[in-house]
Chain A
Amino acid sequence: MPVVAVMAAFLVGGVMLLMLGANPIEGYGALLDGAFGDADALADTALKSMPLLLVGIGICIAFRASVINIGGEGQMIAGAIVSTLVALGLPDVHRVLLVPLVLLGGLVGGAIWGAIPGALKAYSGVNEILSTIMLNIVAVQLMNFLLRDMIMDPYEKDGGRIPQTQRLSDNSDLPLLPGDTRLHIGVLVALAMAVLAWVLLWRTSLGFRLRAVGHNSAAARYAGMPVKRTIVAALTFSGAMCGLAGAILVFGSESHRFVTDGSSVGFTGSAGFNGIVTALFGGLHPLWTIPSSFFFGGLLFGANAMQRAVQVPAALIVALNGLVVVFVVSSDRLRRAVGESLGRERKPSAGGDVEARS
């Protein structure tokens, strides 16, 4: 059970807190309070969860088709780049049109960055893990180049030389939700995408093909399914979700600019990787990924409160996320090994789908 894996990870985390001279109960208490304590905390947690949810949805789609997408970071950046170009190119379009357009730009940018490794895998046999890693590097450098050159804030070009765009058009700001918080429409978009992804995977023929290819690509081929096109589709949809997350990060940000510190983590906050954790914890199911992302978003956001309360760096939560992944993938196998030895029927599960890759 993923829940057991998370508890095990936090048990280890508690021991680590003790070894660092902090009270684990106080630390975790501050974390939970900081993440879920009041309306503002919940709103910030929801904002922190948004990229995790979208990347997680993308991971669900890819992993269901037995495609391992490690390129979330690059796809987020690609989405941010295309959406920023849209906003810079059409600053005067009315916001009713411009907001959907920039979000569409994010989808398209991510989709392109996902389709490339998809096509390379399907038609040239290039391992998608490798190509997505390399495309992450390309995307980071492309972002650094564009933000220091072609789309750099003209003011920064002469002055501080901070690699960022100008303040993007007011018309492209994501509308805030009612209520006195920083919540914006991007969170609703992410929730809608989770539902759409569920529809895609379980209510359309493409979704059926995706899961069939993921389960047994040879059988899918004998059944006459276009396996190669399906692999490309899986990575394209997966990339599109990540790209949308990148666009929402830019247009939902406080500064309303696209800024780089030279690394991908600086822009994405490692959501491209943490989204994998989220999706695994959600059992590779888009709808279960919603609460999962809210939980991990809360951990990542609450970590700052923990840092203030017990002086243990927020990086602890990143380390614990890693442990959660390791525990989830191994406990799944452990559970099944126990089940098999007791002669129980094997049930298909999240881990099994991933393993079935050829």
Chain B
Amino acid sequence: MTDFFTMASLVFVVGSGIRLATPFLLAGLGETIGQRSGVLNLGVDGVMLLGAFGAYWTILETRSPVTGVLVGLAVGLVMGIVYGVVTVTLRAEQGVSGIGIFLFGLGMSDLLFQKKVGTPLPIRGFADWHVPVLSDIPKVGEMFFQHSVLVYLAFLLVPVVAFLLNRTTFGLNVRAVGENPAAADSLGVSVARVRYTTILLANGLAGLAGAVLAIELGIFQQNLTNGQGFIAIALVYFGAWRPVGVMGGALLFGMVSATVLQWKTLGLVSGATSSLTAMAPAVLTIVALVVISRTVGQPAALTRPFDRGR
């Protein structure tokens, strides 16, 4: 175990942890916006898969990572429109329709991959961008300032989303709709319009998260996300519906995964024991949920469809 407590391990764990946290963070931030307006989107994992395949296929065909990222985002937005129609306009039960979206994304991304690509060909993403000056700091630079541009983008979104939710009129409307849609409605806020907007943002970010995952891994395969979208949803609760909290949760999941990777590389754990350590974030999340549910309330109207007539 002493092998693990070295500077090199620390640099690896923090560096890879940040990288691995990025898809969780993007999807989690989107889900946060959605849930603050009272919309639970359980389909994140499916949207991520579709976004991941969209980005992967585009890059395979065009060799342009930027186009790939945009396609991932666009795929997410399209799924957002579908989810909006289903849950806002038709007021379908959110939890169950989300599972439908998940299954659709799981099957559709696999179908298109098998039909259009077949064998997992690797793609090239963005070269790491070394932040001038800062990346030259020994160790610290390696940990924090030598990442893909997508990683910086995701972390920059944390203050942006926090500002959006807490300091803008739109954010006020979002929170009002999430806590008491009837009151918001009586003050002239269109609940449907607010929720459509947040659903589009949430799904767009989920698509983007999938794109980032595929680009970072440089590959696509069946069920590429392996449940990461579901974890992102849990991180929203973990982070008590605040962007900074979600970032903390995403980093925790990323760092734990990186630690397990490093332990494996150093031969400190066998394949079997690493499964036990991989449980840790899930167990921690359950513990956090118990603690949080006693102190912080969820948005009061979460999962409740709004019907003006009633």
Contact = CB atoms under 8 A, between A and B. Distances in A.
Interface string B39-61: 01010001000000000000000
A136 interface: yes
A107 B110 CA distance: 33
B103 A325 contact: yes
A135 B97 CA distance: 21
A322 interface: yes
B100 A126 contact: no
B97 A326 contact: yes
Contacts of B104: 319, 322-323, 326
B217 to A, nearest CB: 16
A171 interface: no
Interface residues of A, number: 56
A330 B86 contact: yes
A126 B285 contact: no
Contact of A319 (B40, B107, B282): B107
Contact of B99 (A70, A130, A149, A318): A70
Contacts of B99: 70, 273, 276, 322, 325
B107 A318 contact: yes
Contacts of A125: 293-294
Contacts of B275: 141-142, 144-145, 148
A319 B111 contact: yes
B168 interface: no
Nearest to B284: A134
A329 B100 contact: yes
A135 B103 contact: no
B231 interface: yes
A124 B293 contact: yes
B208 to A, nearest CB: 21
Interface residues of B, number: 56
Contacts of A319: 103-104, 106-108, 111
Contacts of A276: 96, 99
B271 A148 contact: yes
Contact of B114 (A133, A277, A313): A313
A127 B276 contact: no
A334 interface: yes
A141 B275 CA distance: 5
B92 interface: yes
B111 A316 contact: yes
Given A149-B272, A270-B106, A326-B104, A130 B234 contact: yes
A171 to B, nearest CB: 28
A354 B96 contact: yes
A355 B108 contact: no
Interface string A316-341: 11111111111001101110010000
Nearest to B87: A330
B305 interface: yes
A274 B107 CA distance: 12
Given A131-B286, A333-B92, A138 B103 contact: no
A181 interface: no
Contacts of A265: 223
Nearest to B307: A337
A329 B279 contact: no
Interface string A70-102: 100000000000000000000000000000000
B273 interface: yes
B107 A148 contact: no
A315 B103 contact: no
Contacts of B271: 148
Interface in B53-105: 82, 85-86, 90-93, 95-97, 99-105
A176 interface: no
B290 A138 contact: no
A354 B222 CA distance: 31
A160 to B, nearest CB: 13
A263 interface: yes
B145 interface: no
A200 interface: no
B127 interface: no
B289 interface: yes
A350 to B, nearest CB: 10
Contact of A68 (B96, B283, B285, B289): B96
B278 interface: yes
A274 B100 CA distance: 9
B92 A263 contact: no
B237 A322 contact: no
Given A138-B283, A326-B100, A357 B303 contact: yes
B188 to A, nearest CB: 24
Interface of B: 40, 42, 46, 82, 85-86, 90-93, 95-97, 99-108, 110-111, 114-115, 222-223, 226-227, 230-231, 233-234, 237, 270-273, 275-276, 278-279, 281-283, 285-286, 289-290, 293-294, 298, 303, 305
13 contacts: A120-B289, A125-B294, A133-B233, A273-B103, A276-B96, A319-B106, A322-B107, A322-B108, A325-B97, A326-B92, A329-B93, A329-B97, A332-B92
Across the A-B interface, give the 5 residue pairs with the lowest CB-CB distance, nearest first: A318-B107, A322-B104, A325-B100, A319-B107, A322-B103
